[in-house]
Structures are given as C-alpha cells and as structure tokens.
Amino acid sequence: MTDTTAATWLTQEAYDRLTAELAHLEGEGSAEVIERIAAARDEGDLKENGGYHAAREEQAKQAARIRELKEKLRNVQIGTPPDNGIVEPGMVVTALVAGDEMVFLLGSREIAGTSDIEVFSPTSPLGAAINGTKIGDSTSYTAPNGREIKVKITDAKPFAG
C-alpha cells in the first residue's frame, strides 16, 4: 500500500460539494431546524406534538451528517491519485472477479458524484483485498457468505469524474 491510501481522494467538484453541504448544515440549515423546533414547542404539550418530535429527529440526523462530513473532510486529498497502476482509493479498477470482468471505483460515493460507476469502499471485503495491489496482481477475499472469491487486477486508472 502507498502512503496516500490513508487520505480520502476527492475531485475538486466533490470537495466543493461536500464543503458547501457542511456550510449549509452548520449555518442556515441548522437555523431552519432550530426555528421549526421553537415553533413546534410554542404549540404546547410536547408529548403529543408530532411536529416537535419530527424537528428534533431532523436535528439529530443533521448533527450526524455534520459529523460524517467533518470526518470525511478531515483527511482529504484533492485531485487524483497518481497514475502508477497501484490500486488505491480514487482509482477506477478493472478486475476479473470470480471470472467476470468488473469496472468500478475504489473509494466513496462522494468521489463518484453523479457518475453511474459502481463504487466499492476500501473497507469492503473486495476493497480491502485489492487496496495496494498492482496491475497483474491476483488476490482473493472471503465474501459475507463465506465463499472465497478470486480477483485479478487488469487495470487501474485515476478517476477523472
């Protein structure tokens, strides 16, 4: 594995999209939810107040998304990984998986943005097995059903968006 595997590779577009979402959630998005909670609280009895409970649930979801975004953006590398044939997050991988050719992005859905490419996390069984391998390498991983699946890397190129 290379030193760059610890970083989350994001395109500039993906980075901008995530930072804008974070700014919205921490700013006006948070203010909107607080206003809804206050308005629902003013309606009276909180035990039977569906609007209040819905707004509180939305606030909790928003806080969780803020934590998730901050974690993703904490160790980010903007651009594309080096085109050195090493499989790492941010690479489009072509591989024979159990004999079938697959083309997918190793990384997160945020990298792919609006692309239709299939995405595998580096922490998934397949992603963990191939992370750090090179073109021509063969490896295997154990699927959730217990079956061992063989993988041969045939190509790895940086995701271009």
Query: For residues 60 and 116, what is the distance between their CA atoms, to the nearest angstrom?
Result: 30
Closest C-alpha among 125, 130, 123 to residue 86: 130
Closest C-alpha among 117, 68, 63, 62 to residue 90: 117
Question: What is residue 151's predicted lDDT score, i.e. its pLDDT?
Answer: 97
Q: What is the pTM of this model?
A: 0.64
Query: For residues 31 and 71, what is the distance between their CA atoms, to the nearest angstrom?
Result: 22
Tokens encoding 75: 């160790």
pLDDT, mean over the chain: 86
Sequence spans of domains, the chain: 3-78, 91-158
Looking at domain 3-78, its CATH architecture is Orthogonal Bundle (1.10)
- For residue 105, the Cα-to-chain-centroid distance in whole angstroms is 11
91-158, which class in CATH?
A: alpha beta
Q: What is the pLDDT of residues 121-131, one digit of tens each?
A: 888 999 999 99
